[in-house]
Structure 1
């Protein structure tokens, strides 16, 4: 009897610890997402071309030619970069670039941060201001209760050579090309499964984009993402409790990539983040 009680107590303690660690992680992730100049604060999405154009939400007249973004400011308009005022004289042309794919720079104008970025081979300008209703009214993201059964062991199997992989985007008409160094193989719900992995943001990390049988029902239809770090021997822990929404789950002003076709999982992963409150009437 004593052994049984100790086993139950240990299991209960482990479950509580798992839930607490998940809650700490998700709270930190929510804090990052709700930054006053994060993607919830994006007010406009402008695609640049060679034609000089005034952009709503940003000072100046903008265009791009030969991988160089040019901005001409009018009297009284201002832009700063890293706290440094850029316009010495009105009418001066400011130049930025080239910017690498999926890269970007941030400029400031008053309370607005202006993101200048390259997505799908095109240049975009996205003003971000905390007056944006999406940021002001954000109430957090619903998620499944943490469940250790959705934390599974896997193996990273590298390709002989990394594979350039073209995927679609949340905005029609553009594509993203990612380098896929290999697959993560794992078992879930009695099935042998695999996910193509892309190189992650941090050195040594991998990014997995996927959908599953909850997508479009309880989770966002287009995609969710999971970041993992393989060990030296290729072993990896896939904790789907930490699957998160990308910006396109919240706003139509995002250019998020879609998962490759082979990452549409035939199982229901009832773990991680659910459809945001802001999208729940758009299932």
Structure 2
């Protein structure tokens, strides 16, 4: 397999292909990532979503409906815990465009976000300034888009954006990284023509107990769950469920979407969906078991 590694949207990417990508392939991938980042990154002063936060109005994007439709389902399933207006809550705790990492008082996200933001196939519109953060599923969406860009490349393709992975072709065996020790895995899974996305409180973490997974209703980082993994045909849905699993309602949404999953509590217990395809390294067996020390 040929491997292409690069940095984009604040994370490391690794694309493996059966054949070496051409310069045109790489340029097309870079252009799609830049297009998505230019539209949706709240960390860019020149992005469309930053302008929406300053001025309101419309953000023209073909990603608007697919992402915000999913956000509506996420919000409904989690009782409002997942909300695309959580950007100001993240900034209040120091996860701002300047990465100040200086925490202030928690700020809850507006519960009426569906009244403030509307969307169509072509655009999202804010009736007043509203800063969107699509972090609950945006990276998965971009992995899907990059996989589509590479649809003309023959053979197997694996697109990995910081642990959000989509596989086309031959199965890839992937470890589920232990959230408290990156040298270990709590299990492995074989992914073929599908996606695996993970989220954990040890990633994008700073300060005492501060990390990027917030309950939008309170603006406070979650405390019960340490890590989640979701398996789905598409990366965006896997990414969305990996976020939802930090909250009540996440397993029900996963079942409704046909997504299998694993999640670990902060005290080390592991739960999984009934049809979960992963092989878990457990000291016991069944729901609520603890992982052993296998690598």
The TM-score bracket by the shorter chain reads under 0.3
Higher strand share: 1
Higher helix share: 2
Radius of gyration: which is bigger? 1
TM-score in terms of structure 1 length: 0.26
